[in-house]
């Protein structure tokens, strides 16, 4: 990396929220988000509606292809 491409030094500044007294505990927020994502992953998508959607997409593509290219 050449001299002119080096990233500049980062300046560390104080957190404004912490100085006002309304700082958020990031560990609590992080744990809450992990709990939400784990619950969503466990619920998952129902497989039947997803399969119906995929089959409908395939049928629609085949129908459009038939009408535009094969029905002449």
Residue-level pLDDT at 3 = 66
Q: Kindly report the pTM of this predicted structure.
A: 0.37
| pLDDT at residue number 71 | 66
> 20-35: buried (b, 16+ CB within 10 Å) or exposed (e) per residue?
eeeeeeeeeeeeeeee
Q: Looking at the predicted structure, is the pLDDT value of residue 2 above 70? A: no
14-62 pLDDT tens trace: 666 555 555 556 666 666 666 666 665 566 668 999 999 999 999 999 9
Residue spans of alpha helices (H) in 1-72: 16-20, 26-43, 47-65
Q: What is the pLDDT of residue 58?
A: 98
Taking the C-alpha atoms of residue 46 and residue 58, their distance in angstroms, rounded to an integer, is 19
For residue 66, the model assigns a pLDDT of 92
């Amino acid at each position: 990396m050449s001299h002119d491409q080096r990233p500049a030094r980062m300046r560390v500044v104080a957190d404004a929220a912490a100085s006002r007294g309304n700082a958020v505990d990031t560990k609590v927020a992080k744990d809450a988000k992990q709990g939400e994502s784990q619950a969503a992953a466990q619920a998952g998508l129902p497989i039947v509606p997803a399969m119906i959607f995929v089959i409908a997409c395939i049928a629609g593509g085949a129908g459009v292809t038939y009408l535009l290219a094969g029905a002449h």
